[in-house]
Amino acid sequence: MKLHKNLVEAVIECLNLIMFEKKYSDKALEKTFKKHPQWGARDRRFIAESVYDIIRYYRYLCFVADTEKNFRLIFAAYLFGKNEPLPDWADYQTINTKLFQLKKNENVSATVRLSYPDELWNLCEAELGKEIWLKEAEALNLQANVFLRCNTLKIKKNELIKKLIESQIEVKEINGFDDALQLVKRQNIFSTKEFKEGLFEVQDAGSQLISLFLNPLPGQKVIDACAGAGGKTLHLAALMQNKGRIISLDTESWKLDELKKRAKRAGANNIETRLIDTSTSSVTAGSVTIKLLENFADCVLLDVPCSGTGVVKRNPDAKWKLNSEVIEKTKQLQYQILKEYSVMLKSGGKLVYSTCSILPSENQLQVQRFLSENKNFELQLEKTILPSDGFDGFYMALLTKK
């Protein structure tokens, strides 16, 4: 599309917010769009795609542009890499693209070429091995596909496909996934009547496997202990056919409020939300909420906080916020939750521990440590989905309590 200076300036504004003020990319874009409600879908798409592309390849573009702070030069290097002409604006006329060409032809390390901080690259390579990490690092730089989950509480998948086609939304089915659909072309689906009627949710296909891994039965008592805004809670409700009881817990009230809105739209009426109050206690079994639910549930889902290394496709700015200190603190919290929230499971029950990380230290090693310290639990099955599989990266382990 033809470049408009105000849109390019918006891209630069977002990049400053993300890289220097450490804002999350979605929040930076949201703030920018609110300031300019006159922009249409095409303008917003240009800004969002440009921002995400530049963040993905930020280190390499900084190398080509020979700067880490001048976002006009970095944007010029971005256009140069796409073989697009620079705008004829005064502040771009002095840019020497011959220098870009010289830098582009230099041999650089995979760390620079694929744009990862050294610390994160070395950490991932040490945990996954050089060959596997290189493959995943490349996959994580791809634009994430958009997946839907058919809400079987309201409609069958084949009927949903027909309705979406009628609304000029092209989707395709995915082998091995009963309720998942993939958008063929990216478009705004949140304004469609099908979404407003609660006929589908936007959820990565890999994420949909986690609730299936727990496989709750209609009529059971289920706890989603780190529910957030409820994507997996809603899937659990559908799997349970609205029968039984789901208690969704979180430490953030605004997330549970969003879950309630989503549940109402989805027609999921077997969900109860409870806030874990951390004002007087840590996020542990010391919480009154957790103690009241001891030995209560047939099934417990622990989709714990994690590094998010499996979802960098969707959150490329996470690359520049992660370091070993952050990941170490996250691992301590993960284990604390696994150890102390597991008391809510009754004997004979099932527990799924899951993350959106691809690091074994957050996944298999956490489960192994827990099992070594808790002999009344057994590992039944575990599964890893890597970003190179075409979805987001996830880990899930199914445990049973003796």
DSSP string, 276-304: ---SSS-SSTTSHHHHHTTT-EEEEEEE-
Tell me if 197 sits within 8 A of 221, measured CB to CB: no
Same domain (yes/no): 374, 228: yes
- The confidence score (pLDDT) of residue 14 equals 95
pLDDT tens per residue, range 44-74: 999 999 999 999 999 999 999 999 889 999 9
| pLDDT surpasses 50 at 285 | no
Domain end (from 202, 230, 265)? 202
Domain end (from 97, 116, 135)? 116
Helices (H), 95-156: 97-104, 110-113, 118-128, 130-139
Across the strands, what pairs with 379? 399
Instruction: Return the beta strands (E) in 178-218 as ranges.
Output: 180-183, 200-202
Q: What is the distance between the alpha carbons of residues 214 and 18, in angstroms, rounded to a whole number?
A: 36
Same domain (yes/no): 241, 370: yes
- The confidence score (pLDDT) of residue 97 equals 87
Same domain (yes/no): 358, 272: yes
- The confidence score (pLDDT) of residue 160 equals 97
Judging by beta carbons within 10 Å of its beta carbon (0-12, 13-18, 19+), is residue 345 exposed, middle or buried? buried
Percent helix / strand / coil, the chain, rounded to 5: 50, 15, 35
The better pLDDT of the pair 137, 40 is held by: 137
Given 14, 124, 150, 356, which residue is catalytic? 356
Domain that holds residue 340: 205-401
Q: Is 356 annotated in the active site?
A: yes
**Whole-number mean pLDDT of the chain?**
94
Q: Which two tokens stand for residue 50?
A: 């440009």
| pLDDT surpasses 80 at 257 | yes
Same domain (yes/no): 184, 212: no
pLDDT tens per residue, range 170-196: 999 999 899 999 999 988 899 999 999
How many separate domains does the chain show? 3
Phi-psi region of 242 (alpha: psi -120 to 50; beta: other; left: phi over 0): left
CATH number of the domain within which 183 lies? 3.30.70.1170
353 within a domain of the structure (yes/no): yes
Portion of the chain with pLDDT greater than 70, in percent: 98
| pLDDT surpasses 80 at 278 | no
